[in-house]
Structure 1
């Protein structure tokens, strides 16, 4: 009944929420409680829009393509178990997070505001920290992927290029081209304005996953000598241990989603029911497609699979090109959503609340903020373009706390739960806290090794 009443109070622009914001929210969340003081979120998105946002946020090519590589360092049994477990746990924690909508009578539009309403300033700033680490780290990672895909596409149609090394336009230039395109799209004001783009991106996600699975099977049968394929995890004991840690970080990255409350803020009607459907839609796509790509890619190439499985494919060239295009298009939508927490934090300090969203001052400030952001991310991506290393690092220290741990901690604080449920929840928290630590160690070791072996601004690929 309370949910029905609350949903009826949502106006077209969602202004009519609780009249007294919490202390943490005061002066931080703006007039409409949105990511920015001047971004009115239109609360009329449907469950399939939410599912599209979730799929776009989580299921990027940077999440799909390294999964066979993770399996290569875990082996068949452990790879399947850890991937399935991560998917089911984050599905569960996403439902818990969606259930906290209006837990205190207020519809919180941001993860940090929700945490602040439960744990005060400590919860608010903890989420701000982890969300920024995950969001910025994710965009750094996928910008490297986009640059690599663009360069690979260029190389595919320039046979005079050597198999590796420089070829016409450098990797750094392609990374910069992608950054420039994102700067333009960043002028769109909010997540709702991206919904059509994200539905296209979701279609590209599905096409990329199906294409990767199909190409793995085709190449595995026709391009690979099956007698040379091994599934044994080779190497010395110490590198094996670090690689297992690294692989766990990759799997954590694959289920990264740090802005589910921000997505929930865009839906209309009964927000909980709508988000339950959206989350279930998104995770059904995720789990089935992740498992398919991981198994097919690992089967095709075994231990020698590339850290980005598409780079292991050798034919047909037209399909390889299509996969690169699908990857870049999907990354566009994902990148834009992950920009928003950082943009919103800055907008709260530089935009004028009393002026229109498209006033000269606010347009100018938005352009300055987005330009600085894109310049910094592009510079770092160009300096250290080690895609696989950052995937594991961001998964371990950004996404694991936000997706596996914090939702349960928030849920446990809000209400009374049975002993069995509480014990199960705390087992998940402890287990994935350990995963976060070992994943971070493995990824830092990999980054250190690459920094030693390659120069800054290395034109890899």
Structure 2
């Protein structure tokens, strides 16, 4: 064989140089993108990020879900959802580094590994966007409602009534500067404050409900007709699914934890998840059962709206919800920012920098605020988004990926558990959005735009 001619050698060098430049460009992009720009987080950061992601608007809607399900079915659904979602969350933490030397820093990267580069994107990204954008829309509504409730309790009839639309705008305006924080690390203080607030207002809701007692509470199903009760059950299933939503950001949170062969990120991440789920159990079970015990089937879609006394304490709790959903909004928005900025830089060749971040993120905040102003239907939004988006990414997509990649023995314990989770999740996805959509339609009949 002859030696390569000078033009061949030059071509090989040029190709190598291009590959090096491309790799360096991708590294620089990873150092700029919000998910991969910092990997210095400790396990307790993952704990309060997960608490902030999970204990949000969903927990306040659990007593309302109980009013549509009743004591028996409501208890079974909430406890079963807790067990299933803890199991699927463990699966995702385990799969983050299942390929030696590689980390699946984003949910869709794990999906691409399981389903293929193109199909994985089409399966995961739309579902994840529905969850994250849907959650941020619901948080816009929740923040506005709780600001208005705080105002009404403090003024106690002495102030002029202000439309919900303006409260949503006030709440949304906070996120324009906050959305410019570059990554998860930079919002750690906001997330920690949100986690503390979530625990505090959940306990206030529980103790205030317990103090009120069950005077004249009716525990019959909320709807008076068979059709209403059937659709109410479907809406409630979606609302419960909405409450367990941390899976959509768990890989992105784990991506911020350092990892070595001796100390993989799954160990500190799982420690944080266990702490987070202990807090979730305390908040969810106390609020769901305490709120339903106190108000029965007359409970409001947001249980804090039902509570009136002591007025100063309920006002404080509503303000705590506002602080919490400020942090939760940012936790769910960060993966969306990552997707938007990756798309703009990689596909549309925008230059990464402050101007791109300012325009793209501000546009996202404005869009979620606008949709929240048009559809401020808390109960219907919980049911619709919970079933349509949350059930797939939370209940059964992790199980499908686990079966594909880990290949447990057919009919064995692991295989059987995953099949059961898949069946439950698919049923939730098919039926619960129907109840949420019907509730939105019913609410819209008596709603005046921008009221």
User: Conserved in 2, the CA contact under 8 Å of 1:232 and 1:303?
Assistant: yes
The equivalent of 1:406 in structure 2 is: 397
The equivalent of 2:251 in structure 1 is: 261
> 1:312 offset after TM fit, Å?
1.1
Q: How do 1:415-426 residues align onto structure 2 when only pairs under 5 Å count?
A: 415-418=406-409, 419-420=411-412, 421-426=414-419
User: Conserved in 2, the CA contact under 8 Å of 1:252 and 1:395?
Assistant: yes
For 2:336 and 2:111, how far apart are their aligned partners in 1?
17
The equivalent of 1:10 in structure 2 is: none
User: Conserved in 2, the CA contact under 8 Å of 1:35 and 1:345?
Assistant: no
2:199 matches 1:211: no
Q: How do 1:194-233 residues align onto structure 2 when only pairs under 5 Å count?
A: 194-220=187-213, 226=215, 228-233=216-221
2:241 matches 1:246: no
User: Conserved in 1, the CA contact under 8 Å of 2:217 and 2:296?
Assistant: yes
Q: Of residues 161, 164, 175 in structure 2, which corresponds to 1:171?
A: 164
User: Conserved in 1, the CA contact under 8 Å of 2:35 and 2:184?
Assistant: no
2:441 matches 1:444: no
> 1:76 offset after TM fit, Å?
0.7
SS in 2 for 1:75: helix
2:382 matches 1:391: yes
Q: TM-score, normalised by structure 1?
A: 0.86
Alpha-carbon distance change, 438 to 34 in structure 1, aligned in 2, over 3 angstroms:
farther
For 2:77 and 2:235, how far apart are their aligned partners in 1?
13
2:141 matches 1:144: yes
Q: How do 1:326-337 residues align onto structure 2 when only pairs under 5 Å count?
A: 326-337=320-331
Write out per-residue CA displacement over residues 229-283 of structure 1, whole angstroms, 9 at most, x where no aligned residue: 1111151101000000000011000001211100110112421111211111111
User: Conserved in 2, the CA contact under 8 Å of 1:31 and 1:38?
Assistant: no
2:99 matches 1:109: no
The equivalent of 1:298 in structure 2 is: 292
Alpha-carbon distance change, 243 to 193 in structure 1, aligned in 2, over 3 angstroms:
same
The CA RMSD over aligned residues, in Å, is 2.3
Unaligned runs of 5+ in 2: 1-21
Unaligned runs of 5+ in 1: 1-25
> 1:440 offset after TM fit, Å?
0.6
For 1:112 and 1:39, how far apart are their aligned partners in 2?
13
Alpha-carbon distance change, 410 to 39 in structure 1, aligned in 2, over 3 angstroms:
closer
Q: Of residues 282, 286, 296 in structure 1, which corresponds to 2:276?
A: 282
The equivalent of 1:135 in structure 2 is: 132
Write out per-residue CA displacement over residues 32-75 of structure 1, whole angstroms, 9 at most, x where no aligned residue: 68596476432221221111111100101x11111111111111
Q: How many corresponding residue pairs?
A: 418
Q: Of residues 339, 357, 363 in structure 2, which corresponds to 1:366?
A: 357
The structure where helix makes up a greater share of residues is 2
* More deviation, 103-112/50-59: 103-112
For 1:38 and 1:79, how far apart are their aligned partners in 2?
39
> 1:95 offset after TM fit, Å?
0.4
> 1:220 offset after TM fit, Å?
2.2
The equivalent of 1:53 in structure 2 is: 49
Q: How do 1:20-39 residues align onto structure 2 when only pairs under 5 Å count?
A: 30-31=26-27, 34=30, 37=33
For 2:366 and 2:322, how far apart are their aligned partners in 1?
19
Q: TM-score, normalised by structure 2?
A: 0.88
User: Conserved in 2, the CA contact under 8 Å of 1:36 and 1:345?
Assistant: no
> 1:377 offset after TM fit, Å?
1.0
